[in-house]
Amino acid sequence: MSVAQSSSWTSFLKSIALFNGDLLSLTAPPFILSPTSLCEYSQYWAEHPELLVSPASLNISDEASNSEKSAMAEKRLIAVLKWFISTLRSQYCSRSESMGTEKKPLNPFLGEVFVGKWTGAATGDENAGETVLVSEQVSHHPPVTAYAVLNDKNGVKLQGYNGIKSWISATSINVQQFGHAILEVGPESFLITLPPLHIEGLITASPFVELEGTSYIQSSSGYIAKLDFSGRGYFSGKKNTFKARVFPDLLSSQNKESAICTIAGQWLGKSYITKGGSTPKKTDILFYDAHSPATHLKVKPIEEQHQLESRKAWAKVADAIAKSDYDLIHKEKSLIENSQREMRKKEEESGIPWKARWFDEVDYEQGPDHDAFLNLCNLALLSIKNAPSGTAKKAKHDTGSAKHWRFNREKWDGESEIKV
């Protein structure tokens, strides 16, 4: 009997069909469990550190004309777009590539952290300098991970947070992403929205991720990129395809003929670029090849890690998963869950609530009225609410709170217990 027909898989599918809410809290059969915590997924933003920092070198002197400056800002947006496309393979496909299928990540506990770094040498590019990842689980119910990626040498800072809402349809799990990323390169900033996705291959117990919908990259210079994803071959009959267009501003993006350039292809493979609004062909200039190898970050050996660090905290569960020992997995997970329950109880009793270590939850309805995020949302006419990523202002989902997680550099610089 195949795993797809096993009662453990079919009853897991039934529990997904019946569930309401948090996918990560469901019990799944061992063969579909990943030994990696979702808190680690933030690392996928920088597995091509040289592309992340590349916009920093696209500068021009203050004396240059406005049109020369504007041409540079356009180049920087295209460089950010290339980096963003380079993150997708790691983000959405690395589990399938290393473990054969998408797997269910470990459900991070509140206050779990994951830190690590990429050195310039590892990327084969000394100019890249050191890039540091700081990731923290800022909410357990629902799961929310906040992160920052810092490259001080090049004045590059990426920060953001992720949450999901999901529901099941006939053959797939549909996932809406919440949160966004903000990239700062010197004085310039970019807002990046996260695309919806779905998980296919459930019936055959070989799940994989496919992207859909739209991502926006809005630059503070005005330039905007719109990326459309498809797995159904709207563009080429292939899986994992996207088409991206770069426009001088939001207004001009209403008309594809106003596009400065169009990039199309597969985010798992090659994409091509051409001027204007028409779709590039394979004979056009290669834009990006996703086969270029990812650089994994360096993480301290487990013995040197703090209790709160993902790999140390989950080491015994990960061992049990490697052995496919269902009882042991359950036992080790329960130890973590029970100690978490104890901590929440103590916080309740003492009246001292848990506080994020390196991040603050900022309420934009109370707080700053002038800020990079608000400025970028205004340029792109995107909602400032904690709505599905990419929601437009005044759209149906443009409701609810305007609270977002933000990195607090002072807290990180003052960190004395957890080192990269």
112 makes contact with ligand 0T9 (CB under 6 A): no
Compute how many other C-beta atoms are within 10 angstroms of the C-beta atom of residue 334.
10
181 makes contact with ligand 0T9 (CB under 6 A): no
Q: Cα angle vertex 235, ends 231, 241, to 5°?
A: 40
As measured in angstroms, the least distance from the Cβ of 254 to ligand 0T9 is 29
Tell me how far CA of residue 349 lies from CA of 75, 110, 344, 352, 356, in angstroms: 55, 18, 9, 8, 19
Tokens of 216: 């926006």
Question: Is the CB of residue 302 less than 8 Å from the CB of residue 311?
Answer: yes
By CB under 6 A, what part of segment 235-294 binds ligand 0T9? none
Compute how many other C-beta atoms are within 10 angstroms of the C-beta atom of residue 235.
16
91 makes contact with ligand 0T9 (CB under 6 A): yes
As measured in angstroms, the least distance from the Cβ of 24 to ligand 0T9 is 5
295 makes contact with ligand 0T9 (CB under 6 A): no
Question: Is the CB of residue 164 less than 8 Å from the CB of residue 356?
Answer: no
As measured in angstroms, the least distance from the Cβ of 13 to ligand 0T9 is 8
Antiparallel, parallel or unpaired: β 113-118 and 104-106: unpaired
Question: Is the CB of residue 323 less than 8 Å from the CB of residue 330?
Answer: no
Judged by beta carbon, residue 209 or residue 224, the one nearer ligand 0T9 is: 209
Judged by beta carbon, residue 190 or residue 247, the one nearer ligand 0T9 is: 190
As measured in angstroms, the least distance from the Cβ of 42 to ligand 0T9 is 7
Tokens of 348: 């309740």
102 makes contact with ligand 0T9 (CB under 6 A): yes
Judged by beta carbon, residue 16 or residue 374, the one nearer ligand 0T9 is: 16
How far apart CA 248 and CA 81 sit, in angstroms, is 14
Question: Is the CB of residue 220 less than 8 Å from the CB of residue 188?
Answer: yes
Among 120, 195, 207, 248, binds ligand 0T9 (CB under 6 A): 207
209 makes contact with ligand 0T9 (CB under 6 A): yes
205 makes contact with ligand 0T9 (CB under 6 A): no
Q: For ligand 0T9, what does the binding mask look like between residues 142 and 171, x meaning CB under 6 A?
A: --------------------x-x-------
* φ, ψ dihedrals at 43, nearest 5°: -65, -25
Residues of this chain that interact with ligand 0T9 (CB under 6 A) are 23-24, 32, 41, 44, 91-92, 102-105, 162, 164, 173, 175, 177, 199, 207, 209
